[in-house]
Amino acid sequence: MAIIISSSMSDSGKSLVTSALVKLLRGVPFKAQNMSLNSYPTKDGGEIAFIQAFQAIGAGLEPQRFMNPVLLKPSGSGIEVIFWGESQGNFSPSMYYTIIEKYWKKVRETIQNDMVIESAGGIGEPNFMERDISGFRLVREGIPVVLVLDIDRGGTFASAYGIYTMFPPSLRGLLKGFIINKFRGDEKLLQPAISWLESRTSMKFLGTIPYDDRLKIMAEDSMNIGEMGDGELEVDVVAYPYMSNFNEFHVFSRSNARLRFVTKPSHLSKADLVILPGTRNTRMSLSWLLERGFRDILVKKRVLGICGGFQMMGETLVDPYGLEAGEPSSYTGLRLLPVKVRFQRSKVVSLSRGRSSFGPIEGYEIRRGEIEYQGGDPLLVIEERNGVGTRVMDGAMSGDHAGLSVHGSLYSEGGRNILKEYGIKLEGISLKDQIEETVNKLADVIKERVDLEAIEQIYMDNTVKQN
């Protein structure tokens, strides 16, 4: 009792469909290997891809490590490999593939009979099939596949037929059906192509999902980012290299502001607030900002930094172990806040709660940078990490510039009140509630436009082989 939601390409809607089906089939989300800079802590301090946490929360489940056994986070010095929630260090791609068999053994033992499995990228790529632990390897275990095809970018039926012909004949019968996503127009015009594909493969047409800007989930990668909200104020997020955890800015979809992602200093001319988001590589993102002349305009603007963005706002950043730059180094920050950052070997991965003069702040931390104060007062005190009491000074505010390490904090009372200092008003909704609301809308669309009964039959008509 399991199903794989796959495609011929990235950004086709696999995550969207999986999010809805996890809820509708009362299943468990699973992605064996995900490459993403957006991550989220489990309750026990493990780190998984944000989208698997999103899918779990949307179905009323607690995010857990097994839902994403392997998370790959690209950085300037290789790929950070997160296995079973724990960082294994940075690897080159070739080095990673020398150990993938060890990870596959654990992944295989994890597969359960209630999983809605999302594969990565396109399934059936000839240069990658045998290494594809998120898709093709699982098909070899007898788990059936439904393809989500993006008709907006074209090549829908040709790519689906290509996947079918690239599969070994013995596995083609596991390609059970296909869903057409991002469709606009008269569905009757699709019928000749649908009939053509059905007649030549084992796949059955399962429905269409309309093209609708409102059918969006929190972005998994930078391909999915776009404007949010339609208020009168302008909030600009600087989209530097290795930008991470930018999905938290969906909070601005319910505000008196319009949020957009920018890449040039000139784009900030009308910004009422500039946000420096998290980053997987602080050194490279900071160099990018300085080389393009961002500091000259940031000094004059209202700026909020979060996690890596906050760290770059400091006076100095010290990397004694070469975790960011690949070699030990110390470098000057944007000098907007009186803090110094020192990167530690150990990584903080936690669901966190704290207090500030603006009110309670909660969210999550994923960082190695430790904050040292060169003057001024902390913005907040973190009092709890993963349910355990602590006392950690964090954040800073100086004039129009502020920063803190807690992702998702803008969904909390304290975070909303900080933004009020800049004239930004956010609706009081929690991250959990916004995720659940989004998934409920997706589930309603899937029920209306997709043959859910047929998908449930595919899901039920197989038993995962147990070792």
pLDDT at residue 464 tops 90: no
Residues 409 and 444 in one domain: no
CB 198 within 8 A of CB 226: no
Give the total number of structural domains in the chain. 2
Residues 196 and 301 in one domain: no
Structure token pair of residue 121: 């990228």
Instruction: Please write the tens of the pLDDT for every residue from 255-274.
Output: 999 999 999 999 999 999 99
On average, the pLDDT of the chain sits at: 93
Check which CATH number belongs to the domain holding 172 and give it.
Answer: 3.40.50.300
DSSP code at position 156: H
Would you mind telling me the total number of residues written for the chain in this entry? 467
Q: Which of 250, 267, 307, 401 is catalytic?
A: 307
Residues 273 and 305 in one domain: yes
Instruction: Please write the tens of the pLDDT for every residue from 319-334.
Output: 999 887 778 899 999 9
Q: If phi over 0 gives left and psi between -120 and 50 gives alpha, with beta otherwise, what is residue 254?
A: beta
Identify whether 217 is part of a domain. Answer: no
Structure token pair of residue 58: 């949307």
127 compared with 103, residue with greater pLDDT? 103
Instruction: Please write the tens of the pLDDT for every residue from 175-222.
Output: 999 999 999 988 889 999 999 999 999 999 999 999 987 778 887 665
Residues 303 and 279 in one domain: yes
Taking alpha carbons only, the member of 14, 39, 45, 41 closest to residue 29 is: 14
pLDDT for the residue numbered 411: 97
Region 390-418 average pLDDT: 97
Q: pTM score, two decimals? A: 0.95
In the residue annotation, 401 being an active-site residue is answered as no
Helical segments of 209-359, H only: 282-291, 294-298, 308-312
Residues 232 and 322 in one domain: yes
Check which CATH number belongs to the domain holding 292 and give it.
Answer: 3.40.50.880
Phi, psi of 331 (to 5 degrees): -145, 155
Identify whether 218 is part of a domain. Answer: no
pLDDT for the residue numbered 304: 98
Q: Which domain holds residue 389?
A: 223-428
Q: Which of 250, 267, 401, 407 is catalytic?
A: 407
Instruction: Please write the tens of the pLDDT for every residue from 159-186.
Output: 999 999 999 999 999 999 999 999 998 8
d(CA 128, CA 274): 40
227 compared with 45, residue with greater pLDDT? 45
Residues 237 and 377 in one domain: yes
**What is the β-pairing status of strands 2-6 and 145-150?**
parallel
327 compared with 51, residue with greater pLDDT? 51
Residue 128, judged by CB atoms within 10 A of its CB (0-12, 13-18, 19+), counts as middle
In the residue annotation, 407 being an active-site residue is answered as yes
pLDDT for the residue numbered 67: 98
pLDDT for the residue numbered 337: 98
Q: If phi over 0 gives left and psi between -120 and 50 gives alpha, with beta otherwise, what is residue 89?
A: left
Region 219-245 average pLDDT: 85
Instruction: Give me the sheet containing 28-30, strands edge to edge.
Output: 28-30, 115-118, 2-6, 145-150, 175-183, 204-210
